Amino acid sequence: MLRSIACVLVFAVGTVRAQSLPADPAKLNLGRIFASDDFKSDRVPATRWLDGGAFTNLMPSKLHKGANDLVRVEANGDTRVLVPAEKLIPPGSTQPLAIDGYELSKDRDLVVIFTNSVRVWRQNSRGDYWAYRRSTGTLTKLGGAVKPSTLMFAKLSPDGRRVGYVCGNNLFVEPVEGGPATKLTTDGTAEVINGTFDWVYEEEFDCRDGWRWSPDGKRIAYWQLDTAGVPKFSMIDNTAAKYPVVTTFAYPKTGERNSACRVGVVAAAGGETKWVAVPGDTRTDFYIPRMEWAGNSDELVIRRANRLQNAVDVMLADAATGKVRTVMTERDAAWVDLPDEPLEWVEGGKAFTWVSERDGWRHLYYAARDGGAVRCLTPGDYDVIRLVHIDEKAGRVYYLASPDNPTQCYLYSVPTDGSGQRERVTPADQSGWHEYNVAPDGASAIHTSSEFGNPPRVELVTLPGHKVLRTLAANDKLREAVGKLARSPVEFFRTPIGNGVELDGWLMKPADFDPAKKYPIVFHVYGEPAGQTVVDRWGGTNYLWHQMLTQQGYVVACVDNRGTPCPRGREWRKCVYRKVGTLAAEEQAAATREILKRRPYLDATRVGVWGWSGGGSTTLNLLFRSPEVYRTGMAVAPVPDMRLYDTIYQERYMGLPQTNAADYTSGSPITHAAGLKGNLLLVHGTGDDNCHYQGVEKLADKLIELDKPFTLMAYPNRSHSISEGKNTSRHLYSLLTRYLNDHLPAGPK
């Protein structure tokens, strides 16, 4: 590899040693990981709860290969086909509809099928919707003569007689049996968005479906965003056609103008929209990221955040008049987290659930609807990770937490009156990471459990007894394949970095590890407030690739610095405020030095680091700021200059660049590019609409100016996941493996 010039563009496909399938099941290679079924997991179809612990599932049809039946599954495992695939064959076709999603009416007689979906950005999809009536066997296409794959977010009305959807950034309602649609909004354009969201609301507030039926089905509440005046970003696709295809969309970078956002209520039969009078300018000063009906059909509950996101107002709005009143305000010196889940109305609608860090720990509260008392249900020096279920009849609240080990996650419960101690529901003899999807009646749950290096098991269990009713996905073949691998047990540890701070980490050694020898070490990093990486759960492809590196003779490790969302208290998470990039670089380097000092089998001259997205940014900061520690770095899809990232994410943690320019400069890797002394591989998709390829080009330009050698791999028109197209993932990990092999020699010395 040429190192005598400032930049080397890498486009060779290349191969990595031992690509063919091995005879030895103990050995890993890229072919086994990315191009075989050796580590394929069991299929776990999405489930929808019914009554009595029953749920629906999609199961392969016996008559039509590749198609699915919609099946009712009882708690005891008995199954009954509700909609056979052969009933979903449209007129003029010989094949059943592919079910990408579905919704059942309350009486189970009608099912709305989502099919023919195409992706919009990464989360949302457009497609076609069909309504199937079980009692009559009729199959009706919704949307009339609209173009294929143009409908979004179709939902049945509460009485099951109508369906609403978004098409062309307008809202429609039509009878489920077919017939003329009522157009509820008429002003939708490329810039005016009704019933869904712009890029930044979708990405950073996890906003998708932008409208809500009222409980009585007479009204619809919806968001409208107007992107006029928001700066536009363009991406060029040089691979799709003879001439470049340019995609342009509104993308507000830090300090720029946001979309105007408002909430309206319209009659489901059509008519004028009544706009909710939420005060403030959402282009410059506020966001409206959350809205739901407030437990009735007369009021909405709206959560409004200020631009800095350090104050969130809970507002009740009169659906008829649009008038609002604030019933609670949550403030924080750093930022206020906004959970994705809607508020739950409890105590007959007199209170709602609220999650707050006001006492230094993340706890669940009941907040009075009239703005009065706020009562903590989960007191103690520990964090609630997520609310799972409220069983008011039994007087219990279920939530995820890990009071004793922040790398793990378990189910707990407490009385709803706050009178009792927490009780662990997950059996005490089970460790690792546990997630729960609880049935509406609270009597059963789908329980998913895994550990580091141990694939997940999915079971149907009772609550609160946690008796296993049956296994939904055992992953026995995957577990057997992983169990045959040559590997050493993972080591979880804490390492001190000074001032009484200890960081959590994990470390993987070669199976034939010899403590008398010296090994190279590769650190996997993230380091930003959006993700925790030191977790005791199954890691999928990344785990297998890291295990492959250990088989080549590398030690692989990972450390979570402060500022990552670990359940270790508010101060742990929010001490990173206005220090993104800076704090992670300091603490990751301090942890690495301590690990090298305490483990004499590690070769301090062979230290590497890699990460993706925010982890790519952290990789750059470590390589540039601590070149005496890190000799080789691989940064995938990084943000070299945080001024180039979006308003909602970056300003939440850094404030406004207009008033905090110094911290933006200090935290951005591009500022420290002159410190590069080791080997740097930059990898980015040119079609990344999230962390733009623009940032890597700016960094490349800076490194060229500084006469710093580096290697750049641009994946044509790939998104932030760099996964589109045949063989892309294997090619990417081949590149990473080869770069390590070439620049950080494997094996003990």
Write down the pLDDT at residue 215: 98
> Exposed, middle or buried: residue 641 (CB in 10 Å: 0-12, 13-18, 19+)?
buried
> Exposed, middle or buried: residue 572 (CB in 10 Å: 0-12, 13-18, 19+)?
buried
> Exposed, middle or buried: residue 249 (CB in 10 Å: 0-12, 13-18, 19+)?
middle
Structure tokens at 659: 């008033």
Q: 10-24, 247-261, 561-575: which range is least confident on average?
A: 10-24
DSSP state of 214: -
pLDDT of 17 strictly over 70: no
| Contact call for residues 171 and 194 (beta carbons, < 8 A) | yes
d(CA 67, CA 87) in angstroms, rounded, equals 11
d(CA 101, CA 106) in angstroms, rounded, equals 17
For the segment 480-494, what is each residue's pLDDT rounded down to a tens digit? 999 999 999 999 999
Q: Which amino acid is at 23?
A: A
For the segment 433-452, what is each residue's pLDDT rounded down to a tens digit? 999 999 999 999 999 999 99
pLDDT of 313 strictly over 70: yes
Average pLDDT over residues 643-658: 98
- 23 vs 13 pLDDT, higher one: 23
d(CA 508, CA 143) in angstroms, rounded, equals 54
Tell me the three state secondary structure of residue 583. Answer: helix
pLDDT of 260 strictly over 90: yes
Tokens 């009239």 found at: 370
d(CA 381, CA 197) in angstroms, rounded, equals 38
Helix extents (H) in 63-219: 199-204
The pair phi, psi for residue 160, each rounded to 5°, is 75, 10
Interhelix angle 614-625/582-598, nearest 10 degrees: 70
Tokens 């968001």 found at: 223
d(CA 322, CA 728) in angstroms, rounded, equals 50
Write down the pLDDT at residue 18: 41
* Average per-residue pLDDT for the chain: 94
- Which residues are registered as beta bridge partners of 504? 494, 560
For the segment 234-253, what is each residue's pLDDT rounded down to a tens digit? 999 999 999 999 999 999 99
d(CA 519, CA 517) in angstroms, rounded, equals 7
Say what percent of the chain tops pLDDT 90.
Answer: 92
Name the nearest CA neighbour of 523 among 625, 626, 629, 611: 611
d(CA 138, CA 118) in angstroms, rounded, equals 26
The pair phi, psi for residue 2, each rounded to 5°, is -70, 130
Write down the pLDDT at residue 23: 62
d(CA 314, CA 329) in angstroms, rounded, equals 6
**Residue spans of beta strands (DSSP E) within 268-323:** 274-275, 286-293, 299-306, 311-318
Considering the four listed CATH numbers 3.40.50.1820, 3.30.910.10, 3.20.10.10, 3.30.379.10, the one that applies to the domain covering 7-20+486-743 is 3.40.50.1820
Average pLDDT over residues 404-420: 94
For the segment 651-708, what is each residue's pLDDT rounded down to a tens digit? 999 999 999 999 999 999 999 999 999 999 999 999 999 999 999 999 999 999 999 9
**Residue spans of beta strands (DSSP E) within 91-244:** 101-104, 110-120, 124-133, 138-141, 151-156, 162-167, 170-175, 182-183, 192-194, 211-213, 219-226, 232-237
CATH no. for 44-183: 2.40.128
Tell me the three state secondary structure of residue 6. Answer: coil
Name the nearest CA neighbour of 460 among 40, 101, 105, 44: 44
Tokens 């009559």 found at: 136
DSSP state of 378: S
E strand or H helix that includes residue 482: helix 476-483
Tell me the three state secondary structure of residue 633. Answer: strand
DSSP state of 22: P
Structure tokens at 670: 């591009």
Name the nearest CA neighbour of 337 among 310, 364, 370: 310
Whole-angstrom CA distances from 454 to 138, 248, 478, 479, 483 are: 46, 43, 9, 7, 8
d(CA 141, CA 97) in angstroms, rounded, equals 11
Average pLDDT over residues 32-44: 94
Any idea where the domains of the chain sit in the sequence?
7-20+486-743, 44-183
Tell me the three state secondary structure of residue 172. Answer: strand
d(CA 430, CA 432) in angstroms, rounded, equals 7
Q: How confident is the model at residue 227 (pLDDT cuts 50, 70, 90)?
A: very high
d(CA 366, CA 380) in angstroms, rounded, equals 16
Name the nearest CA neighbour of 289 among 648, 570, 643: 648
Which three-class secondary structure string do you get for 424-476? ECCCCCCCCEEEEEECCCCCEEEEEEEECCEEEEEEEEECCCCCEEEEEECCH
| Contact call for residues 163 and 137 (beta carbons, < 8 A) | no
d(CA 100, CA 114) in angstroms, rounded, equals 5
- Give first-to-last CA distance, the chain, whole Å: 24
d(CA 339, CA 358) in angstroms, rounded, equals 15
Torsion on CA atoms 512, 516, 520, 523, rounded to nearest 10 = 80
Say what percent of the chain tops pLDDT 70.
Answer: 96
Helix extents (H) in 23-164: 30-34
The residue count of the chain comes to 749
Structure tokens at 266: 């319209």
* Strand-strand pairing, 170-175 and 182-183: antiparallel
Name the nearest CA neighbour of 211 among 192, 231, 197, 200: 197
Question: Across the chain, how many H-helices and E-strands are there?
Answer: 11, 44
Average pLDDT over residues 605-630: 98
| Contact call for residues 401 and 410 (beta carbons, < 8 A) | yes
- 652 vs 145 pLDDT, higher one: 652
Average pLDDT over residues 122-139: 89
Q: How confident is the model at residue 99 (pLDDT cuts 50, 70, 90)?
A: very high
Cβ count near 441 (within 10 Å)? 15
Write down the pLDDT at residue 179: 87
User: Could you give the count of Cα atoms lying within 13 Å of 720 in the half-sphere of its Cβ?
Assistant: 17
Tell me the three state secondary structure of residue 120. Answer: strand
